[in-house]
Amino acid sequence: MDIIELIKVIIIGIVEGITEWLPISSTGHMLLVDEFLQLNMSEDFKEMFFVVIQLGAILAVVVIFWRKMFPFDFREKSMIKKDIFSIWFKVLVACIPSGIMGVLFDDFLEAYLGTPVVIAIMLILYGVVFIVIENWNRKRKPRVNKLAEINYKTAFIIGMFQVLSLIPGTSRSGATIIGALIIGISRVAAAEFSFFLAIPTMFGASAFKLLKFGFHFTGTELLILVFGMVVAFLVSILAIKFLMSYIKKHDFKAFGWYRIILGIIVLLYFGIGMI
């Protein structure tokens, strides 16, 4: 792998690390980056790479929220933390809708919806939704303020919203946070549940893509995959800490405006290119 390809992988890893957790669409951003910085790899490898690289970002969540996520405490007589197990069961329930839809429609989504125009439209659409919901929420008080207060019904509803993220440009975190805000969950609890939900969702998606691609990597392909995951992990640590600090004092409207502006730029760029 030459230095140019290495720089491309670093850029893609940085983009993934930032956008996986901010509600602005990681897959959408990486597909757009690839339009300009195309990896010198097969289309099958890139399709797998853009999903599996997210495992690096997922590992960052596990490291930061380890105490909240690990359901055992070997220092106590009662080693099992029932409250954390309860959260994980709710997360698994929330994974069901997107798991089913992802398996059924993966080929269709890859073939027809992974285009710059679709990504741009989704960026704009959900940017508007974020702004509308946050304006609506100014007169509402959250009915759920803590992660532990989320019940199974609420978890399943959030999981239904996660199905929307199968369309590139939507954002997995964006879809789940929007759903949580609509049904009255606080910003912090919504973000934390989205973090929990990302772990089985992305492990499942990555396993599906790896099985679909196969495990016959060349040395260069394996290096690209591992290096991209490491970069995504390191950048994600910073992105997660920034987001959790930011939403304690601010709403999500800034991300909504960012999505709208980026979507318009993409539409103009590719629209002009088609003329």
pLDDT tens digit sequence for 95-140: 999 989 988 888 888 788 888 889 899 999 999 999 999 999 988 9
How far is it, in rounded angstroms, from Cα 12 to Cα 163? Answer: 24
Is pLDDT larger for residue 25 or for residue 89?
A: 89
Q: Can you give the pTM of this predicted structure?
A: 0.87
Residue 16: closest CA among 218, 252, 230, 208: 230
Q: What's the pLDDT band for 255 if we cut at 50, 70, 90?
A: very high
Q: What percent of the chain shows pLDDT beyond 90?
A: 59
Q: What is the pLDDT of residues 151-210, one digit of tens each?
A: 999 999 999 999 999 998 999 999 999 999 999 999 999 999 999 999 998 888 888 888
Q: What's residue 234's pLDDT?
A: 97
Report the number of distinct structural domains present in the chain.
1
Question: Which pLDDT tens digit goes with each residue over 222-235?
Answer: 899 999 999 999 99
Per-residue 3-state assignment (H helix, E strand, C coil) for the chain: CCHHHHHHHHHHHHHHHHHCCCCCCHHHHHHHHHHHCCCCCCHHHHHHHHHHCHHHHHHHHHHHCHHHHCCECCCCCCCECHHHHHHHHHHHHHHHHHHHHHHHHHHHHHHHCCCHHHHHHHHHHHHHHHHHHHHHHCCCCCCECCHHHCCHHHHHHHHHHHHHHHCCCCCHHHHHHHHHHHCCECHHHHHHHHHHHHHHHHHHHHHHHHHHHCCCCCHHHHHHHHHHHHHHHHHHHHHHHHHHHHCCCCCCHHHHHHHHHHHHHHHHHHHHHHC
Q: What is the predicted pLDDT for the residue at 117?
A: 87
Among 16-20, 72-76, 77-81, 201-205, the range with the most confident prediction by mean pLDDT is 16-20
Within 10 Å of residue 190's Cβ, how many Cβ atoms?
28
**Contact 24/243 with Cβ under 8 angstroms?**
no
pLDDT of amino acid 78: 63
pLDDT at residue 274, as a whole number:
53
Q: How confident is the model at residue 270 (pLDDT cuts 50, 70, 90)?
A: confident
Tokens 């606080």 label which residue? 186
Choice between 45 and 111, residue whose per-residue pLDDT is larger: 45
Q: Tell me the mean pLDDT in the region 63-71.
A: 90
User: What is the pLDDT at residue 273?
Assistant: 55
Domain of residue 223 covers 3-274
Mean pLDDT, all residues of the chain: 90
CA distance 221 to 189: 38
Q: Is the pLDDT of residue 275 over 60?
A: no
- Kindly indicate the confidence band of residue 217, based on its pLDDT and cuts at 50, 70 and 90: confident
- Tell me what pLDDT residue 107 has: 81
Query: Which range, of 40-49, 51-60, 115-124, averages the lowest pLDDT?
Result: 40-49
**Cβ atoms of 91 and 75 closer than 8 Å:** no
